[in-house]
Structure 1
Amino acid sequence: MDIGCSHFLVRISDGATFMDALSKARKKSEQRNAEKYMVIIPQVVRRLEGNDFKIPPATTQDLREFGQEYFTSKDQHEEYQYFAKYDMADLMYVFNSKEINFYPNILVIQKSLKNEGLFSIFTHVYGKIQTNKNDNVQEVNVWNGSHFRDDCNGGIVKDTKELSCFFSNKMSDLNGEPMVFATFNYPPYSVLEYNVSGNIENFEDGIEMRIAILLAQRMNFTWSLYVDAENFWGEIWDNGSGNGMLGAVSSEKADLAFAAIYLWEHEHDFVDYSETYVRSGITVLAPHPLPLPQWITPLLPFSKSLWIAVFIGVFLAAIALFTLARIHKYINISKEPADRYCDPSECLLRAIGLLALAPDPTPPPDSQTGLRQLLLVWLPVWGLLLATAYSAGLSSALAIPHSQPPIDTISQLAESQLPWAATHPAWAFSLRGATDPIHRTLLNNFKVMNEKELHAHSMGRSIAYAVERLPAGNFAVGSYLQGKALEHLRLMHEDLYYEYVVTALQKSSPLRPPLDSLVGRLCAAGIPLYWEGAVSRRFPIMGAKYVGRKLPTPAPTALTIRVLQGPFYLLCIGLTLSLLIFIGEQIYKPKN
């Protein structure tokens, strides 16, 4: 099976062993071919009857013939007569094994016991195991081996020439065969309404539920629900068993499962996936950014890098003033006293004063060098440009409220070290095996909590909440996020990751080809997008409208003392430092 074969010719001597081995091979095979064609030729020697039960080794090959025949062989010059009898029990076991439901295209050839040279071709009626074993067996045709070369039909007794008569499409009409759907209430994918006693009421809806119901109508089978509300998606263990809806499919308790199942690698070793039909983006609802404290308002007009550039510029301007003053002192021939720019502190204060549009009120002497005069002309221009830019930014910072940087990208979420949480580990299944540091950090920060714990944290700022973003603009939001809790949360613009939604089926399930065909036709017509909107309008999710809402643009506000507390803080700090320095100078000033 692992080499991709789709047609098999099998000769078996033990039907029970063959079906058990076939079941194990199907579950362990990496190839997923749901359309396999198999012809079984049973070996017929099951019981030997004769004068002596000591069968010489040379006679065993002679006994491998169809039907009931007598054989004669000699052993040590003595003649023995044996009777080979075919046992029908093995044939019936093949048809009544549970594994037969994974192979609708199977034929078993048996030699007729009444007519010499005739071989009956049997198949099975697809479906669950019948109470009466004979109800599963159906004769397709009869082949006459003696007329094989003379007959234009190749020995086929019944008038047919098409292969479809041997391998008919048994999946087109299942005649009300019962199937089991594994799912849980997860709007808008699957919507289940519960009554007061906790039982599911008599209606179901959802994007994926509609696909499954339409498949049941097209294939004419009945269905029931398998709901594991505690384990949600569940998990599959290494031995193939598990819990939740994925575990139900892998352990063959359910025929298919749906409710936002993605293309998970580990689970694919135990189940099959259908064609994809919905793109889902996983993002988070993070706490709203806090407003910045008003005392840092004077720092808002410039960014951090620009402030660094301004400080470097002031420092370089002070160095230039001091250097040119020292050069002028040594090259000046006259006996002029040294000017104030020979003092480093004076140079630094003059450079800072340029930012406040406070140039030197004393003009430089006429004996200044040309380079120094040029510097003293351009430094005020530089200060004017910076002061104008700062004034414009300050007016905006005072009028419009500012907040801390929001979490809009996965890198910002990783850098914030803010945990993000959901009700099941399946929300992080797609991040398993990630190698880049950002996604590894996100995987380590993921937390699993129950709905009560998530609701208890919803009014705080300790975690972010995982939600799904659907193609038509709708969101899948947990019921634990409602009302005022959503007013404190903000949707992250970037997706953590995106996946494609599929239906999980049993491995090599014959339901997959008709399901894939149906999904392809629905997606070509855009039906899943229409159903997304229809289900979301019929069953509005509490809080989904808050998640997808556009945040209002901050509007200008009136200036208050609270807004201007930053400049007043600077004034108080400056006056305090000036007073302390003045007192210190008076105390430690040396006496003349």
Structure 2
Amino acid sequence: MSNIHYLPQSFVLAQSAAIEFLDQFHTVHDRAIVRYPQKRLIIIADADGGAASDELGEKMQTAILNHAAIRDVIDLLLIQPSVDLHRVDLLTNRYELRPTDRDGWIKLDSFSLAEAATTQGSAKLFPNKRTDLQGRFLRLAVFNYEPYTIWRTVKTPDEANAYYEHRKTLDIDGTEARLFIEFCAKLNCTLEISLDEAGEWGQIFDNRTGDGIIGALVERRAEVGVGALYSWYHEFGFLSLSKPISRTGVTCIAPKPLPLSSWMTPILPFSLAMWLAVIGTFLVATVCDVLLNFITQKLTPGESDHVDLCESVMIVMAIFILQTVLLRINKNPLVSQMILIGSLLLFGLMIGNAYSGGLSSVMTVPRYEKSIDTVQELADRNLRWGSTHDAWIFSIQLATQEVLHKNAVERNMAYSIERLPYGHYAIGEYITDAVSGNFEIMLEDIYWENCVAMATKTWPLMDELDELTLVIFQSGIQRFWENKVVSKFADNKVQHAIATSRHFGNPGPIALQPSHLLGAFFLLAFGLGLGLVCFACELLWHRLSYGSHPGSNAKMNQRFLFSPSPTASYD
């Protein structure tokens, strides 16, 4: 294991130890930290030792070719010495679709021990087999996730471009699936698809098993997987990651803000801070008016010390709402009182007109609830958000498509979507055209990631995939792929609804309805109800007060006793 970490590129071993080495090849490399896909394996065969030994050697060489680890070794060199012929044969594997016994070996060259020269001069010991894979199967793990990877079953092989269970029955497409279509077109390989729709992206357990795409890779049911896979740290410990294919931003579509209720119309012109300032100013002005009146009456001889609190409250309130006020400053013509009333009149003029303007604006332009634009606002609103898999969130990983669609109708949670590089969105199937109008997209991404392809740590074609990925990325063809795939497979109505979700249409002139004045009626009802309650409390208070003073009750009884009764008769 320690030698693996030093990035060895070549292994030299005897033929007798080859099978044992290959048995441990995947295990050791899967637990290593470094990745080097272009491994070279040099096997030195045993010298001729009779017919029995030759037969045993051939069986071992066949077992080497048929070993599962050989799929991940393109550069294989077998050194076959021949004592009788005084030469050394150099062989390699074909790396074809299905290698067979001796047909899998290719003779590269022979070295004559007597002449100390090769028969072919300058033969390459490790020829480049990566440029032409001769139709070899490339096992690709995907699942249906628009617009990254889409697959469908077709009726005829002519319509298919991929195999499933060694039958040409699938047609795959998508912004990332097209990368592997081009990859196989360039290297002459054949796509064989590994599907796990229930597992989706999947997960990896500590015992190196799993489900979904990454589970198929760690269990080596597939060689490479793609489909909006991110550069996850945990998965990096088990798999190899390619160069970034594209950039994606994970954001949410949150319930669209609803129009505020009409009963809130009277309080909407001012913000909460403004209302607090107005109420505070009203209380301070009332207290100042009461104190000034009290001090004025103290300084004026012959005046009563009684100060009418209700009168001061009503005067200040009338000034605030731009109503006429009876100012009795002729009784006490003091400059201080005139200054107080003058400042209140100026303040009331500004506040009243500001409120009137705000009310006109509210009645003209509808007000809506506060929208969720940022991650902080999403957290402050305490709104659940999620999707169908723990790759997005862990709290609802067992939720079904039906449950998510129900929540989408009820507008009680937000849903994660992906913001694609060229203006489109990756949206779950549970967001249909019927419910897409209930949501609007956040302005801020929750996070962003690089989409990559994942492969086993020993997959030998990672360098070729990285090279093609960078060439395609710099060419700009991914914009064309995204536009074509989205227009072909996605619900364009849902795409348009999400893209324009923050734009509210103009309904035009609306006739005034009683609901528009619901706030005024609410204030009237509140005032009438509060007045009746206060009146009942005052009656009860006076009755209790008279009941506690017998003399007052006697005077009231005498008043009623000596009152002439229209029904009384005198003899």
TM-score, structure 2 length as denominator? 0.81
Give 1:274's match in structure 2, choosing from 239, 242, 262: 242
**In the alignment, which residue of structure 2 is the partner of 1:522?**
472
- SS of 2:146's partner is coil
**In the alignment, which residue of structure 2 is the partner of 1:351?**
316
Give 1:417's match in structure 2, choosing from 382, 387, 408: 382
Distance 1:386 1:109 in 2: 98
TM-aligned CA deviation for residue 173 of structure 1? 0.4
1:39-74 C-alpha deviation (Å, 9 max, x unpaired): 4557x6xxxxxxxxxxxxxxxxxxxxx7779xxxxx
**In the alignment, which residue of structure 2 is the partner of 1:3?**
5
Aligned residue runs from structure 1 range 142-153, under 5 A: 142=110
**In the alignment, which residue of structure 2 is the partner of 1:552?**
504
Aligned residue runs from structure 1 range 25-104, under 5 A: 25-40=28-43, 93-104=63-74
Residue 213 to residue 379, structure 1, CA distance change in 2 (3 Å): same
Give 1:310's match in structure 2, choosing from 278, 296, 307: 278
- SS of 1:257's partner is strand
Aligned residue runs from structure 1 range 257-336, under 5 A: 257-325=225-293, 332=299, 334-335=300-301
1:326-352 C-alpha deviation (Å, 9 max, x unpaired): 55566x3x5252677x55555444433
Give 1:16's match in structure 2, choosing from 19, 43, 56: 19
TM-aligned CA deviation for residue 217 of structure 1? 0.7
1:393-419 C-alpha deviation (Å, 9 max, x unpaired): 111222233332233333333333333
Residue 456 to residue 586, structure 1, CA distance change in 2 (3 Å): closer
Give 1:468's match in structure 2, choosing from 418, 426, 440: 418
**In the alignment, which residue of structure 2 is the partner of 1:499?**
449
Structure 2: 5+ residue stretches without partners: 157-163, 547-551, 556-571
Aligned residues: 526
**In the alignment, which residue of structure 2 is the partner of 1:130?**
99
TM-aligned CA deviation for residue 129 of structure 1? 5.5
Residue 583 to residue 337, structure 1, CA distance change in 2 (3 Å): farther
Return 205-214 or 569-578, whichever deviates more.
Answer: 569-578
- SS of 2:412's partner is coil
**In the alignment, which residue of structure 2 is the partner of 1:79?**
none
Distance 2:169 2:496 in 1: 26
1:294-323 C-alpha deviation (Å, 9 max, x unpaired): 112101111122212222222222333344
Aligned residue runs from structure 1 range 187-586, under 5 A: 187-194=146-153, 203-325=171-293, 332=299, 334-335=300-301, 337=303, 342=307, 346-358=311-323, 360-364=325-329, 373-428=338-393, 444=395, 446=396, 448-541=398-491, 543-550=494-501, 551-553=503-505, 555=507, 557-582=510-535, 584-585=537-538
- SS of 2:514's partner is coil
Distance 1:146 1:565 in 2: 110
Q: What amino acid is aligned across from residue 260 of structure 1 in structure 2?
A: A
- SS of 1:467's partner is strand
Q: What amino acid is aligned across from residue 301 of structure 1 in structure 2?
A: P
Distance 2:399 2:419 in 1: 21
Q: Is the Cα–Cα contact under 8 Å of residues 287 and 490 in structure 1 kept in the other structure?
A: yes
**In the alignment, which residue of structure 2 is the partner of 1:54?**
none
Structure 1: 5+ residue stretches without partners: 45-65, 70-82, 149-154, 429-442
Distance 1:558 1:339 in 2: 55
- SS of 1:107's partner is strand
Distance 2:283 2:44 in 1: 95
Q: Is the Cα–Cα contact under 8 Å of residues 399 and 558 in structure 1 kept in the other structure?
A: no
TM-aligned CA deviation for residue 523 of structure 1? 0.7
**In the alignment, which residue of structure 2 is the partner of 1:107?**
77
TM-aligned CA deviation for residue 562 of structure 1? 1.1
Q: Is the Cα–Cα contact under 8 Å of residues 423 and 450 in structure 1 kept in the other structure?
A: yes
Q: Is the Cα–Cα contact under 8 Å of residues 122 and 140 in structure 1 kept in the other structure?
A: yes
Q: Is the Cα–Cα contact under 8 Å of residues 325 and 339 in structure 1 kept in the other structure?
A: no
**In the alignment, which residue of structure 2 is the partner of 1:174?**
133
TM-aligned CA deviation for residue 564 of structure 1? 0.6
Q: What amino acid is aligned across from residue 237 of structure 2 in structure 1?
A: D
TM-aligned CA deviation for residue 122 of structure 1? 3.6
Distance 2:153 2:431 in 1: 19
TM-aligned CA deviation for residue 521 of structure 1? 0.7
**In the alignment, which residue of structure 2 is the partner of 1:60?**
none
Q: Is the Cα–Cα contact under 8 Å of residues 239 and 457 in structure 2 kept in the other structure?
A: yes
Distance 1:68 1:536 in 2: 66
Distance 1:273 1:181 in 2: 14
C-alpha RMSD of the superposition: 3.5
- SS of 2:348's partner is helix
Q: What amino acid is aligned across from residue 569 of structure 1 in structure 2?
A: F
Distance 1:207 1:300 in 2: 48
Residue 121 to residue 394, structure 1, CA distance change in 2 (3 Å): same
Return 213-222 or 186-195, whichever deviates more.
Answer: 186-195
TM-aligned CA deviation for residue 142 of structure 1? 4.8
TM-aligned CA deviation for residue 128 of structure 1? 5.2
Distance 2:483 2:451 in 1: 17
Q: What amino acid is aligned across from residue 335 of structure 1 in structure 2?
A: P
- SS of 1:203's partner is strand
Q: Is the Cα–Cα contact under 8 Å of residues 401 and 554 in structure 1 kept in the other structure?
A: no
Distance 2:337 2:5 in 1: 86
- SS of 1:181's partner is strand
Residue 86 to residue 388, structure 1, CA distance change in 2 (3 Å): same
Q: Is the Cα–Cα contact under 8 Å of residues 181 and 225 in structure 1 kept in the other structure?
A: yes
Residue 191 to residue 88, structure 1, CA distance change in 2 (3 Å): closer
Q: What amino acid is aligned across from residue 247 of structure 2 in structure 1?
A: R
Distance 1:2 1:32 in 2: 9
Q: Is the Cα–Cα contact under 8 Å of residues 398 and 559 in structure 1 kept in the other structure?
A: no
TM-aligned CA deviation for residue 520 of structure 1? 0.5
Return 202-211 or 356-365, whichever deviates more.
Answer: 356-365
TM-aligned CA deviation for residue 194 of structure 1? 4.3
Return 457-466 or 205-214, whichever deviates more.
Answer: 457-466
1:525-571 C-alpha deviation (Å, 9 max, x unpaired): 11111100011222342633322234324555332211112112212
Q: Is the Cα–Cα contact under 8 Å of residues 240 and 457 in structure 2 kept in the other structure?
A: yes
Distance 2:423 2:407 in 1: 26
Q: Percent identity, please.
A: 28
- SS of 1:215's partner is helix
Q: Is the Cα–Cα contact under 8 Å of residues 263 and 500 in structure 1 kept in the other structure?
A: yes
Residue 90 to residue 346, structure 1, CA distance change in 2 (3 Å): farther
Q: Is the Cα–Cα contact under 8 Å of residues 285 and 464 in structure 1 kept in the other structure?
A: yes
- SS of 1:537's partner is helix
1:225-266 C-alpha deviation (Å, 9 max, x unpaired): 222223222322222222222222222222222222222222
TM-aligned CA deviation for residue 588 of structure 1? 4.2
Q: Is the Cα–Cα contact under 8 Å of residues 97 and 129 in structure 1 kept in the other structure?
A: no
Distance 2:333 2:305 in 1: 11
**In the alignment, which residue of structure 2 is the partner of 1:160?**
122
TM-aligned CA deviation for residue 107 of structure 1? 3.2
Q: Is the Cα–Cα contact under 8 Å of residues 294 and 562 in structure 1 kept in the other structure?
A: yes
> Which protein is richer in helix relative to its size?
2
Distance 1:451 1:196 in 2: 28
Residue 139 to residue 306, structure 1, CA distance change in 2 (3 Å): same
